[in-house]
Amino acid sequence: MTPDIVAHIQGLRRYARFLCRDVAEADDLVQETLERAIAHAGQFRPGGDLRVWLFAILHNAFVSGRRAYARRRTETSMDLASAVSVSATQESRAELQRVLSAIDRLPDERRRVLLLVAVEGLTTDEVAVALGLPVGTVRSRLARARDSLRQLLGGRGPAGSRSATMRVVGGRDVDGR
Amino acid sequence: MSTVVEDWELGALIDGTLPPGRTDEIQRALANAPALRARLEAFEADQAALEGVGDALAVSGPLPPAIDALSARLERSLARPSRWPRLSGPVPQVARYAAVLVVGAALGWGAAASQDQAAVPETALALVDEATEIHQTAALAPGFAREASSATIGLLDSLFARDLEPPDLSEWGFHVARVDVVATDDGPAAVFAYTDADAHLVTLVMSMSAGMIASLRGEADTPRVTTHDGLAVSYGQVPGLAFAIVGTVTEARILAIARRVEVALSA
């Protein structure tokens, strides 16, 4: 297999974990995505963006089966914050868990756009294609997601000033307030 | 060009996806606007935090066997000659959409069995079946259609020599997102794909072919509604145009939407 395909699949698996909150369910979703892609491989346009096409299929597979995925999610809910790599330093892990907890609290439609752009590296145009939305909708959702995230992380302003307002989501403030 | 910098532009600036001219403008504005610099720095801080999230949750190592096998099959499937002709430009683009559906129909897509054919007169079945297939294709690969804009809608107007303003379905939370032209057995059809905030898709297919319109002749009390291939479908006609609207909503809702479409297309 080409490295590109493997990289795309690993990106799909990561995004699916965000959607499903369960590693096994996420891999089931990726399998369903690949089965659909194989069935409709003839519709893939030569020169098209394979990654965007796969994300579009994955999104549609998730949406069309989301009742089942949502039901399973309540039974097996994975805490995103607990999934942070053990190789991270304690300090960076705490920061990552804080960011993940904040992402977890975003409305679904904002979280999806934010993750596809900021984590998976898609452009807003590509996200519009993958989610079947107007690009203006993607941009406004992305702006709102970033705004909400900033507020959830303590309303931090420019870089360098955030330590004064840092909060632990779900716990006490680090400065003891 | 505007000196107002929107949030999405700052995001695109960080992502490196902003057009060069606009990038230069914003870079110049940043030199004299501390507030704008502060906004950009906040964006950069967010981006740095999110990149850390991506790295921390990166999925690495060997693929699970089932996914590995499917990935290899996909790669082989994509290596086969595509059904897409290598064309470019606006009109060939339309032809490309047409080609995939013509080939699809040749492969039997159009012959998919209906789960509720009894509710649909034989004459109207072609429209219902075509519309359902178009909806399913749009749901699978929305990127094949074009983003809805006055230019693309204008292209439809000129192709079909008719004013095809998308009906307003905002009452049900649906907004037109994409525009398409597809080939049916009875000639080209125009398509408006609507989505709501939850990414539900409703597809409006409009045919101006004499055969398709004739297939609904004699149908009383249109629009009518049925379920076809698990999808709610409502269909009807206005002078010179047959239409069908398909979606993963209830029959009652798709019928209500179709009534609105009928009024809008008659105007």
Do A86 and A27 share a structural domain?
no
DSSP labels for B235-246? Answer: EEEETTEEEEEE
Q: Answer whether the bond into residue B223 is a cis peptide, omega within 30°.
A: yes
Q: What is the pLDDT of residue B3?
A: 66
Q: How many domains does chain A have?
A: 2
Q: Is residue A59 part of a domain?
A: yes
Per-residue pLDDT of chain A (177 residues; tens, 9 = 90+): 666 788 889 899 999 988 887 788 888 999 999 988 888 887 787 777 899 999 999 988 888 776 555 545 544 445 555 555 545 566 667 777 888 888 888 888 898 999 998 888 888 888 888 888 888 888 888 888 888 888 888 755 443 333 323 222 333 333 333
pLDDT tens readout for residues B207-229: 888 878 887 877 667 788 888 77
A86 and A162 share a domain?
A: yes
A59/A103 same-domain check: no
| A88 and A163 fall within a common domain | yes
Q: Is the pLDDT of residue B191 over 80?
A: yes
Please check whether residues A107 and A69 belong to one and the same domain. Answer: no
- pLDDT score of A159: 37
Residues A57 and A96 in one domain: no
Question: In chain B, which residues have their Cβ closer than 8 Å to the Cβ of A93?
Answer: 56
| Whether A20 and A34 share a structural domain | yes
Look at residues A18, A47, A78 and tell me which one is the last residue of a structural domain: A78
Tokens of B125: 């079945």
Which of A44, A110, A152 is the best substitution to test chain B (most B C-beta atoms within 10 A)?
A: A44
* Cβ <8 Å between A10 and B60: yes
Q: Do B84 and A133 touch (CB under 8 A)?
A: no
Q: Is A8 part of a structural domain of the chain?
A: yes
**A173 beta partners:** A167
Distance CA A177, CA A156 (A): 17
Is the pLDDT at B245 greater than 90, yes or no?
yes
| Same domain? A118 vs A156 | yes
Residue A155 counted as domain residue: yes
Report yes or no: B142 at the A interface, CB cutoff 8 Å: yes
The CATH number of whichever domain residue A57 belongs to comes to 1.10.1740.10
Q: Please report, for the domain that includes residue A161, its CATH number.
A: 1.10.10.10
Residue B91 pLDDT > 70: no
Residue A127: its chain B contacts at CB < 8 A?
Answer: none
A91 and A28 share a domain? no
User: Pick from B50, B72, B193: which is nearest to A118 by CB?
Assistant: B50
- For residues B15-32, give the mean pLDDT: 85
CA of B136, closest CA in chain A: separation in Å?
Answer: 11
Same-domain check for residues A166 and A85: yes
Q: Quick check: is A177 in a domain?
A: no
| Beta carbons of A143 and B6 less than 8 angstroms apart | yes
Does residue A119 fall inside a structural domain? yes
Give the per-residue SS3 of chain A: CCHHHHHHHHHHHHHHHHHHCCHHHHHHHHHHHHHHHHHCHHHCCCCCCHHHHHHHHHHHHHHHCHHHHHHHHHHHCCCHHHHCCCCCCHHHHHHHHHHHHHHHCCCHHHHHHHHHHHHCCCCHHHHHHHHCCCHHHHHHHHHHHHHHHHHHCCCCCCCCCHHHHCECCCCCECCCC
**Structural domains in chain B?**
7-56 (no CATH), 89-266 (3.30.200.100)
Residue B148 has what DSSP assignment? P
What are the tokens at A49?
């963006």
A53 touches chain B (CB under 8 A): yes
What token pair was written down for A120?
């998976």
| CB proximity B162 to A under 8 Å | no
Which pLDDT score is estimated for A130?
A: 86
Percentage of chain B exceeding pLDDT 70 = 79
Q: Pick the residue of B71, B146, B195, B201 with the most A CBs within 10 A to test the interface with A by mutation.
A: B71
pLDDT digits (tens, 9 = 90+) for B104-141: 343 333 333 333 333 566 667 778 888 888 887 777 76
Does A164 lie at the interface with B, CB-CB under 8 angstroms? no
Interchain CB contact of A139 with B (< 8 Å): yes
Confidence of residue B258 (pLDDT cuts 50, 70, 90): very high
Same domain for A35 and A60?
A: yes
Indicate whether A31 belongs to any domain.
yes
The DSSP letter of residue B116 is: S
Q: How far is A77 from chain B (nearest CA, A)?
A: 16
Q: Output the pLDDT for position B125.
A: 78
Q: Using a CB–CB cutoff of 8 Å, tell me whether B41 touches chain A.
A: yes
Q: The domain containing residue A134 runs over which residues?
A: 80-171
Which of A78, A105, A136 is a domain's end point?
A78
* pLDDT tens by residue, B139-184: 776 666 677 777 778 777 777 788 888 999 999 999 988 888 877 7
Residue that wins the pLDDT comparison between A103 and B97? A103
Does residue B200 sit at the A interface (CB-CB below 8 Å)?
yes
Regarding whether A44 and A71 lie in a shared domain, the answer is yes
Q: Do A83 and B57 touch (CB under 8 A)?
A: yes
Task: Given the cut 0.90, state whether the ipTM is greater than it.
Answer: no
Which chain B residues are closer than 8 Å to A40 by Cβ?
140-141
Q: Do A52 and B147 touch (CB under 8 A)?
A: no
CB contact under 8 A, A10 and B75: no
Q: Is A176 part of any domain?
A: no
What letter does residue B115 receive in the DSSP assignment?
S
Q: Does A2 touch chain B (CB under 8 A)?
A: yes
Dihedral-angle region of residue B30 (phi above 0 means left; psi in -120 to 50 means alpha; beta otherwise): alpha
State whether A10 and B59 contact (CB < 8 Å): yes
Q: Among A78, A102, A125, where does a domain finish?
A: A78
